Amino acid sequence: MTTNQQEPISSSIIQSVPSQPSTHHQHHDQYSGTIYDPDADLIPVQQDDLIRLKIFIPFATLSALFANLVSAIIIKPSMGEINNRYYTLVTPDPIFIGLYWIVLFTLLVVLTFMIVFTSNQRYRTEQTKQLFVNALGFRYVLALFCFTLWPFFWAGRLMSVAAALLIIIFGLLLSIHFSLLRNFPTSALKRPFSFLFVHLPLRLFLLVLWQVDILQTVLIALGWYKIRPDGEWEAHHRAHVWIVFGLIIAIGVINSLVTLLMEDVIWTIGSIWLTAGVIRGGGGRMGKLGEEPLLAGTMIGLAALQLLCLAGTIGAKIGRVRKLRREQAIQLPVDDDPSVIEG
């Protein structure tokens, strides 16, 4: 008696069956530039890069956090003491800038946890993996390592080196920011976790370097400061005031353009907070309003300009939404029933 034995299906035959492309797959192709199966993990090279990032980014983040804490608490003079002693026209209030950095470092730590605990789950996390590997990558690691070194040069009052490091960090973060905008654009509604813990901290990091830290460090390196509490301003201080005045106007105008063109609420809120911190950073109750009223008044005007730009962009967006809804409301339904004969 013969028995019919079913031949096992060859795996090569299974692999030869073409798979149907997914429309959702095509949607994500515009972000990553890489065609991948929604049910597949990252390709091996990218998976290796992701594993490396899971090692280096936590180490770099903790190193930067530890270095800044040591420089702020243990080393004397501390970062805060140097900030208060070497008073420039853009020296921020310690409380304002301290709260800003607490929020920023908290978000950076959460970002680190996101990278470490990125699992091999399927389609839901594929774009996030691509974001970590292709947008952040080792540029972010290098920026964090530079930021680990920066507070020691600041505490050692080697301000030229500290300023150079901040400029390098700014360049690295700016390139990451452009990569995020170009390849991984998102919003708080579409991808809230990526927005809150990737886009948001990097944007805040970029902003504080751009608006406060680089300019303050460069001014100290140039000797454009006075020693508080009883020191005098440097020679030719009145001429230097006009140079700083022009730089502040340029920064404020660019911030307003970012608000207007990018409709960036986070950039606007962070910029206004830092502006308030710089104005409050002067001596006395009035801050810089009492010492440099023209400079402080200009900062207030630039902050108001940003608010106007933000209000304009929000109003324009509301107008577009209302127009779209009106257009959708007046569209007549199309009757595709062939039994209906037009007469």
| 38-75: pLDDT as tens digits | 334 444 446 777 788 889 999 999 999 999 999 989 98
Residue 328: both structure tokens together: 């959708």
What phi and psi values does residue 105 have, to the nearest 5 degrees? -65, -35
Q: Single out the residue of 253, 257, 234, 235 nearest to residue 245, CA to CA.
A: 253
- What total of structural domains would you count in the chain? 1
Judged by average pLDDT, the poorest of 16-20, 191-195, 230-234 is: 16-20
- Is residue 25 domain-resident? no
Judged by average pLDDT, the poorest of 122-131, 157-166, 218-227, 290-299 is: 122-131
- Is residue 116 domain-resident? yes
- Is residue 17 domain-resident? no
- Is residue 40 domain-resident? no
Q: What is the mean pLDDT of residues 171-183?
A: 91
- Is residue 316 domain-resident? yes
Give the pLDDT confidence score for residue 323 in this predicted structure.
Answer: 81
Q: What is the dihedral of CA 42, 44, 49, 54, to 10 degrees?
A: 70
**Whether this model's pTM surpasses 0.75:** yes
Contacts of 188 (CB under 8 A, 6+ apart): 195, 196
Task: Render pLDDT for 81-102 as a digit per residue (tens, 0 to 9).
Answer: 998 899 999 999 999 999 999 9
Identify the domain containing residue 318 by its residue range: 47-327
More confident residue, 13 or 87: 87
Helix (H) or strand (E) holding 87: strand 86-87
Cα dist from 247 to 112, 207, 214, 235, 280, whole Å:
34, 15, 12, 20, 19
More confident residue, 57 or 123: 57
As a whole number, the mean pLDDT across the chain is 80
| Helices 200-208 & 265-280 angle (0-180, nearest 10) | 40
Give the pLDDT confidence score for residue 48 in this predicted structure.
Answer: 75
**Is 311 a residue whose pLDDT tops 80?**
yes
Q: Single out the residue of 89, 111, 108 nearest to residue 147, CA to CA.
A: 108
Task: Render pLDDT for 181-209 as a digit per residue (tens, 0 to 9).
Answer: 888 877 666 777 778 888 899 999 999 99
- Is residue 53 domain-resident? yes
Give the pLDDT confidence score for residue 332 in this predicted structure.
Answer: 52
Give the pLDDT confidence score for residue 4 in this predicted structure.
Answer: 47
- Is residue 339 domain-resident? no
- Is residue 6 domain-resident? no
Give the pLDDT confidence score for residue 119 in this predicted structure.
Answer: 53
